[in-house]
Each structure stands twice: as structure tokens, then as C-alpha cells.
Amino acid sequence: MSSFYVFKESSSRESLESELARNREIADCLPWEEFGTVTPLHLTQESQDDLFCFVTRYETGITLDQSRDINEYRKAARSLGIIHRSVKSKKGKRNYRAVLEERFACPVLDPVRPDLYRAWNFLWEKINGIHHDDQDPQGKNRIVTPDGRIIILDSVDKGETDQCIQLAKLTESSPFFEESVDRRVGVLRSYSMECESIEMQPLLEGVLAATPIVAVNAYFYSSQGRADSDMTETYLQNALWALRFGRNEFGWEQKAVDKMTRIIRALGETSCPW
């Protein structure tokens, strides 16, 4: 099977048409021979009382987080850079910290929330403050086709989110990166070549600082049954490495790192929070 079909329903034709238009905008800015988006086929309403139906075709392949090929991650980073250079959200900047604090106000995070909000200040300070269209580029949102194209699955406009948060989702959702700085830097360079020239050391530090933050976010979604548990474990393991590396190579304060490390370990040891 080379493709499959998905039906999305909504009471709002306008919202589906907006998603269609945005999908085309993203597709149009990418070189078609290397990249693609899901293929919109039909927007219809069977009767006046029915919901609107949006039909799309998805190409098959592996999700990016399953890949063991650095070139596929570099290609995905290039596509993210091109989109960030070319596509502007109509919703403006998101205060992602505020978004997460509202999201995390749930019972599953009650045991760690007060300590988390005290401990993660130093991480947010290291994130560079650059915002781009939120592509949510974690590995499950990208398909690598048998012919090597990168297919982007999610084109919904979510506003503009921190650059470092998005890049951390791209790299740290995959076990491929392990404890390799070179692999991460290679991906960040591919992104930077397409989007904007950025000094690599501050960008790497910002992405590693974002890693524990996106790991807690992944844990939240896993606790709701809305995220892959293996990918969540990968995020948490990569977060522990990022904290060690930040302490050893960037001089992050030992006490702050220790507090955040205890929180990540506590989440990792809670194998079935729900």
C-alpha cells in the first residue's frame, strides 16, 4: 500500500478551508522532489444537516523518529528552516511557558508541579526568544517515504512558538541522537542554512535547555493517552543527558541541574501515571 486516506469532520467549513489553504502554502514553499505535505483531495458536505468532511491522502513510510539515517533528520531540519523562513502564522506569538503552565494544571503533575515551576527558570533563560510558525516537528509528525521524501503531517496554524522548543522536538523525540553532540549540531546547521544564520553554540545550548521542557510536555500527553509511551521515554532519557551536558560543557549551575534532574527522573520512574 503506497497511501491511505483520512476523513476529518468539522461543523465549520471555514476552519477546514483555512487548513486547506495553509496546507497548500506550506507545500508551495518546499521543493516537491524532496518534501511534501498530506494531499488534500476533497471538501464536501453531503446535506445541510451534515458535518463538513475534509478528505486527505497520506503517503506511507516510517515516521521520522524511527529513522537511523542522519541525512533524513538533516532533510527534515531543512524543511523546517524553509517553512520558518517562508510561512507566517496568522495567530501571532504564543507565550509557550504560559501555555504549558495552564496545560500542566492537572492531577497527574501535582506531585512535581511546584518544584518544576521553581526549577525550570534557568532553562527558559537560555532559550533564545526567537519565534517562528509552530510546526510541531516531533518525529511522529513527519513521514519518511520509501523514496526518501519527508512528508509533513500537521499543517494546522498553532501560532508562533520558540525556535529552540521546536528544534528540541525535532531531535529529542528520537533515540537516534543518543548522546551525540555531532548529530545534533549537524541537524541544527542544516536548519540554520535555510532559515537564518545563527551562532551554533548558543543555539545548541538553547535546544538542550528546551529538552527537559518538551520532555515534561511529552509526559503530560502520554498521561492523557495522546502520545506514544516509547517516544515519551526517549524524551525523558534525552533530557537527563541534556542536563548533564549543560552542566559539564556550558557551566549550568549544579544546584539547578540537580533539581531538574530529580523531576525528570521522578517522571521516568512513574511508568504508568494514568
Q: Which one-letter amino acid corresponds to residue 44?
A: T
For residues 134 and 48, membership in a common domain is answered with no
User: pLDDT by residue (tens digit) across 154-193?
Assistant: 888 999 999 999 999 999 999 999 999 999 999 999 999 9
For residues 102 and 44, membership in a common domain is answered with no
Instruction: Flag the least confident range among 56-65, 239-248, 251-260.
Output: 56-65
Domain count for the chain, please give it: 2
For residues 53 and 98, membership in a common domain is answered with no
Q: Which one-letter amino acid corresponds to residue 41?
A: L
% of the chain residues with pLDDT over 90: 76
User: pLDDT by residue (tens digit) across 41-99?
Assistant: 666 776 666 677 777 777 889 999 999 999 999 999 999 999 999 999 999 999 999 99
Phi-psi bin for 198: left (phi > 0), alpha (psi -120 to 50), beta? beta
**Predicted local distance difference test score (pLDDT) of residue 272:** 47
Distance from C-alpha of 164 to C-alpha of 152, rounded to nearest angstrom: 19
Instruction: Provide the pairing of β-strand 142-144 with 150-152.
Output: antiparallel
168 close to 50: Cβ distance less than 8 angstroms: no
**Predicted local distance difference test score (pLDDT) of residue 55:** 77
Q: What 3 state SS string does the chain have?
A: CCEEEEEEEECCHHHHHHHHHHHHHHHHHCCCCCEEECEEEEEECCCCCCCEEEEEEEECCEEHHHCCCHHHHHHHHHHHHHHHHHCCCCCCECCHHHHHHHHCCCHHHCCCHHHHHHHCHHHHHHCCCCEEECCCCCHHHEEECCCCCEEECCCCCCCEEEHHHHHHHHHHCCHHHCCCHHHHHHHHHHHHHHHCCCCHHHHHHHHHHHHHHHHHHHHHHHHCCCCCHHHHHHHHHHHHHHHHHHHHHHCCCHHHHHHHHHHHHHHHHCCCCC
Distance from C-alpha of 188 to C-alpha of 35, rounded to nearest angstrom: 18
**Predicted local distance difference test score (pLDDT) of residue 38:** 83
For residues 47 and 94, membership in a common domain is answered with no
Distance from C-alpha of 217 to C-alpha of 108, rounded to nearest angstrom: 12
At 192, which CATH number? 3.90.1200.10
- Beta-carbon count within 10 A of 258 CB: 12
**Predicted local distance difference test score (pLDDT) of residue 96:** 96
**Predicted local distance difference test score (pLDDT) of residue 154:** 85
Q: Which one-letter amino acid corresponds to residue 258?
A: D
For residues 134 and 50, membership in a common domain is answered with no
**Predicted local distance difference test score (pLDDT) of residue 2:** 62
pTM of the model: 0.92
85 close to 195: Cβ distance less than 8 angstroms: yes
In a domain, 238, yes or no: yes
219-232 average pLDDT score: 92
% of the chain residues with pLDDT over 70: 93
Average pLDDT over the chain, rounded to an integer: 91
Per the structure, the complete domain to which residue 145 belongs is given by: 62-269
Checking if the pLDDT of 133 tops 50, the result is: yes
**Predicted local distance difference test score (pLDDT) of residue 16:** 78
Checking if the pLDDT of 264 tops 80, the result is: yes
For residues 21 and 92, membership in a common domain is answered with no
Q: With bands split at pLDDT 50, 70 and 90, how would you rate the model's confidence at 196? A: confident
In a domain, 274, yes or no: no
In a domain, 210, yes or no: yes
For residues 101 and 14, membership in a common domain is answered with no
**Predicted local distance difference test score (pLDDT) of residue 42:** 66
Please give the distance of CA 77 from its chain centroid, rounded to a whole number: 11
**Predicted local distance difference test score (pLDDT) of residue 274:** 39
Q: With bands split at pLDDT 50, 70 and 90, how would you rate the model's confidence at 12? A: confident
